[in-house]
Amino acid sequence: MQPYHYPMLIKLIIFDLDGTLIDSVSDIANAVNYAVKPIGLDGQSDDAIRALLGGGISGLISCLVAENKACFLDEAVERFMDYYREHLLDYTLVYDGVEDALKELAPQSMGVISNKREELVKKILSELGLAPYFGQIYGSDSASDKKPSPAPILKMMGYFGVTPEETMIVGDGEADVGAGKAAGVTTVSVTYGYRTKEQLSGTDFYIDGIGELPALINRL
């Protein structure tokens, strides 16, 4: 492994969670199916749920709830949360190479911004042993708005005292690219997550594995 040389330009690396650091589709799908079954909706496959991820739980479930059942949305979200809190890590896995990449990048300033609620993000990262790598962790309820709004990125930049030119966001979805572009930061999209490369057009850089990130930053 080549030694990591800290660049002068990038001082803060922000990571998305689901589809970037972890594969959590099965646990989310199980919780969604638990939540919507009582209101008469069919269960969804992992692939169907994967295609809907990125906009937060309320947005995901609202995509499944028919117009004539919209009154049950809040109930379904509450059922999802009750189930998911107890089954966060039944099948969720850290992607290969993530911890090695984080070790190589440390002690670079790093944070996580997810559209999952902050309490869940922190619990997942803690129980998977990844939390110590991050100086700040935000969820969908940590700022005035969630991705693709730039609000959580701007808040995190303020926390670390860095400029957009010194900041990078690494994610797997359109919301990560959109938030990054709106905040004026460098965007890096992983191709192994929940979206295709074609869906992530407009990003500044692609990487096929998280282990490529240190070398990319060294080239900037």
Backbone angles phi, psi at 137, to 5 degrees: -135, 120
Whether 13 contacts 207, CB under 8 Å:
no
Decide: 39 and 65 in contact? Cβ < 8 Å: yes
Say how many C-beta atoms besides its own lie within 10 A of residue 177's C-beta: 24
Other Cβ atoms within 10 Å of 115 Cβ, number? 28
Please identify which of the residues 16, 18, 23, 27 carries the catalytic annotation: 16
Amino acid at 67: E
Direct distance between the N- and C-terminal alpha carbons of the chain, in angstroms, rounded to an integer: 19
What distance in Å separates the CA atoms of residue 202 and residue 3, rounded to the nearest whole number? 30
The answer to whether 151 and 144 are in contact (CB under 8 A) is yes
> In b/e form, how buried is each residue of 35-68, taking b as 16+ CB within 10 angstroms?
bbeebebeebeeeebbebbbbbbeebbeebbeee
- What does DSSP assign to residue 113? E
| Residue 145 among the catalytic residues | no
Which active-site residues does the annotation give?
16
